[in-house]
Amino acid sequence: MSDQPSILPLAIEGLSYEIGGCRLVGVDRALITKGRRTVVLGPNGAGKTLFLKLCHGLIAPSQGTVAFAGGIKPAARRQAMVLQRPVLLRRSVAGNLRHALAVAGFGYLERRRRTVRMLDQFGLADLSDRPARVLSGGEQQRLAIARAVSVEPELLFLDEPASGLDPSATRQIEEILLGLHADGLTWVMTTHDLAQARRLADDILFFHAGRLIEAAPADRFFAEPDTDAARAFLESRLFW
């Protein structure tokens, strides 16, 4: 992939998503920049997950554009998404990885090589033959991330990747994400955990009532948010 043109930045302009005349997401402008760790914040129902799905292409916008650099329409493996509740196949841990690689077009030997590497990198080697659907929540999430990055995407979207996990599993996920970023992966994630956002974010996109109302570097957002809604959210006074 190194010899291919970058798909970043990802520019979002005039974006809206409506159902039955009700606008659920509205973004005037946002930019996902290469090499930055972007965290999407906001209360429940603010539109965070829908925003990720629009960026990833799982759903089509009602209006506006989601444009990769140079007008590139990337192959599926150039960008990937990990859902809050990952959908794992009725296969072994290793089988889930091999299947994803097969769908992406990798040959047999390369599938085997990458599967072994992913199992080792994500601490799943001892679980390789176990049915994926009987793993713990943290193990399932590690597998879902491993499966997504096995095809070496340039951009990864993650929806609440540590939701409902205990502190140890959460720390594992955070260390994985920091390591992936250090290896050159650009990622965008949603979270409700302000402490986690402070630890991980370079940039913040803050949604409220379906609209992106602040986009700022993380240090500035947490020190001096521009809007009353963001200040209320940071002070745990904004509930919806």
User: What are the structural domains of the chain?
Assistant: 10-234 (3.40.50.300)
Q: What is the 3-state secondary structure (H, E, C) of 82-95?
A: ECCCCCCCCCEHHH
- Provide mean pLDDT across the span 200-224: 98
Average pLDDT, the chain: 95
Query: Model confidence over 19-72: pLDDT tens digits?
Result: 999 999 999 999 999 999 999 999 999 999 999 999 999 999 999 999 999 777
The predicted pLDDT at position 74 comes to: 65
pLDDT in the model for residue 71: 79
With cut-offs at 50, 70 and 90, classify the pLDDT of residue 1: very low
Q: How many CB atoms lie within 10 A of CB 169?
A: 17
Does the structure show a pLDDT above 70 at 75? no
pLDDT level of residue 132 (50, 70, 90 thresholds): very high
The answer to whether the CB of 175 falls within 8 A of the CB of 181 is no
